[in-house]
Each structure stands twice: as C-alpha cells, then as structure tokens.
Structure 1
C-alpha cells in the first residue's frame, strides 16, 4: 500500500518528486548507518571513562589505565594513550598535547563521516521542491493561455495543486533531515567535549594547582554552555 502511494505521488509530481523520494531513501539509509555507527562506537557511554578519570585523579594510575582500556567508548584509545604518555617525564608538553588533540580530532571526525550528505539533503530538498512547483505553475498557466476563453477552473486548480505537491514533498524530506542533523551534531559536540576533558584531566595530574584550577574552570564553563 505504501509503495503504491509513493508511486502515485511520484507519477503526479513528475521527475522532481521522484528525485526527492530518492533523496529521502538515501537520507534514511544514511541515518540508520550513522545510528549503527554511533552504537558501535559507544557514543554517549562515558560511565567507564568517568570512573577511570576519577581513579586517575585519586592517584590510582594502573587501575585507571586498566579501566580506561576496558571502556566500550571510542575514546578509550585516547584515554589510554594520554595516561601512558602522562607517566613519562615532562608529560604536559605542547607537543604531547598537540598529539593527543590530533588523536581526539581524528576520533571525532570519524563520527562526522557522511553527515555532509544529510546536511545537503536538508538544504537542497526544499529548494528542489520549490523548483518543481515553479515548473508546475509555468505548465499550468501555459495550459490556461492555450485554452483561451474556454478555461476549465477545475483543470487549472488540479494543475496548481499538483505543482504545489513538489514543495510539500521537499519540505517533508527536509524537516526530518534537518532535525536529525541537529541531533547528530549535538551528540558529536558532547563527544568532543568528553575528549577535551580526558586530555585535560589526565595531563593536569602533572601540573601545579593554579594551572589545574584554571583548566577545571574552563571545563566547567564548557559543560554549562553545552
């Protein structure tokens, strides 16, 4: 039944609606793939890492390292690398922080893969729908001009609502894509914040109290802003 309804809408709306339906299918497949990716990466599951960081702050270096390595989060590798490096002399050097920041950026970038396509669908779908409506209105008024004085109002109305159908389909595709894109962006932003927390918490153990207090305040401000 649903397939027949989609086929009817595509037939009435023409190639523009067919293209929009194809875009919606691509977007749906991408959303399902990203949800599966996030689940496999352990996005949002920070409990084990939080406990590992708490142990690290308490001075329990080896238990913290083991707890971080056993975490199911994709940030476990970052945590283990930071903890191992922090035990070396001169841990909090600009070079080490840059290396850890680069590793964190790599993990976050992996989560963003494919989302540009979803963002493009959210932006292009309403424009494409409007384009189809304009084409349909041109066709409807061409028919009105050709009919001369023998205008059939029902035929004109039918041509107009079919033209407006493409805008409705475009908006129906764009709105959920935009909402899902916002949701994905929010999850990724929280993962980036967690990665920064891991780096600062681990490296802060080797710093003096003033520097630690400054970075803790910055982290707290970031959490409040999010």
Structure 2
C-alpha cells in the first residue's frame, strides 16, 4: 500500500499542475456521484408499489384514500400524483389550470433531480482535453530539452519527456471514463423518474372518480411537494 501511494505521488509530481487539476476534478465527480445516489435513495426512486395501489384507488373513486396512501411517499411520481389528486379534489383550479400547475411543479422537481449532472458531464468531457493539453505541454518541454542538448543528444532525454507527457493523457482518461459512466447512470435514473411522474399525472387526469364526496380535500403548497428533492 505504501509503495502504491509513493508511486502515485511520483506520478503527481511528474505530471505537474495538470495532474493536480485532474485530481481535483476526480474528487468533484466522486462527490457529485455519491451525493446524487444519497438523494435518489432518500427519494426512494427504486420504489413504486404504493403509487400503483393509490392510483388503483383513485380510478375506483376512492380519492381521499388514494391521497392518504401516498402521504410520506418519497418517490417524485408519488409526490406529483398526490399533488395532482389534491388539486383535483380541492377544485380550486379548473382542469387546464391544474394540468399547468402540475407540469410546473414536475418541472421544478426534475430540475432538482438533475442538479449536478451538468457538472459531471463537463468533467467527463473536459478531463481528456486537459490531459491532452498536459501531454502537448510535456512534449514541447521534451523537444526543447532535446534542442538544448545540441550535438550531445541523449535518447533518455526524449524518452523520459515523452512518458511524463503521456502521463497526463492517461490520467485524463482515468477521470473521464468513470465520470461518463456515472453521468449516464444518473441521467438514466432521472429520465425514468421523469417518465414515472408523467405517467402518474396522466393517470390522475384521465380517471374521473366521484369528486363530490371529496370537495373538502385540502390543497398542499407546491413547496411541500418539492421537499426532499434538495
């Protein structure tokens, strides 16, 4: 373990500032990935059984029971379905206004789910370019040293400069490959959550349960729907 750490330190010093920049980008990518996973786990993005049961109750005309079943549901689709149900039951807005309000809140929810993904995508795109920049700079230094040697050319000068130069390209790829995979994974999860939200809202609007008995249902503020998506 000690030798591996020492070897990494040697590579960092050989690669210069570019290596430290890539190390910082790697740390940022790891932080974003872990924080998004924690957020998704807290929102229970891999659940959905309660939502389907609640939508079944809604279709059968049991609006209040459906809303009650979704209380505390962390999945964005459950939160959007509950919000849409509460808006329809309260009858404070007509159907068109209700759809617009639900779409607005769903858009805000998706924005919060997607936060950080652009940074991850930028790291995945820029790290190979930064590594390549380090390689170009290293090659320039190597050939300058070769030129300065004049007639006393030592092949080790060139070979040593080349491997040090290529080190930053390798480091850039080491950062970019996991960052790209992490971005694709998280983006896929957000996309599935968005489709689930759209599906749940559509089911609420296409079903018409007996609303008369539920007119007293209380409308929940949009901020409460978004709670937990931070």
> Structure 2 length normalisation: TM-score?
0.84
Structure 1 residue aligned with 2:50, among 29, 48, 51?
A: 48
C-alpha separation in 1, matches of 2:112 and 2:62: 31
Say which structure, 1 or 2, has more relative contact order (CA 8 Å, 6+ apart): 2
> Structure 1 length normalisation: TM-score?
0.85
Q: CA deviation at 1:113?
A: 1.2
Kept after mapping to 2: 8 A contact 1:104/1:195 = yes
Tell me the secondary structure at the aligned position of residue 150 of structure 1.
coil
C-alpha separation in 2, matches of 1:8 and 1:92: 67
Structure 2 residue aligned with 1:169, among 165, 168, 171?
A: 171
Q: Unmatched 5+ residue regions in structure 2?
A: 210-230
Aligned to 1:191: 193
Aligned to 2:16: 14
Q: CA deviation at 1:88?
A: 4.7
Kept after mapping to 2: 8 A contact 1:91/1:203 = no
Aligned to 2:119: 117
Q: Would the alpha carbon gap of residues 186 and 92 (structure 1) be closer, same or farther in structure 2, given more than 3 Å must change?
A: farther
Aligned-residue Cα RMSD (Å) equals 1.8
Aligned to 1:127: 129
Aligned length: 207
In the TM superposition, 1:183-222 aligns within 5 A as 183-206=185-208
C-alpha separation in 2, matches of 1:89 and 1:146: 83
Tell me the secondary structure at the aligned position of residue 87 of structure 1.
helix
Kept after mapping to 2: 8 A contact 1:92/1:206 = no
Q: CA deviation at 1:199?
A: 1.0
In the TM superposition, 1:3-42 aligns within 5 A as 3-42=5-44
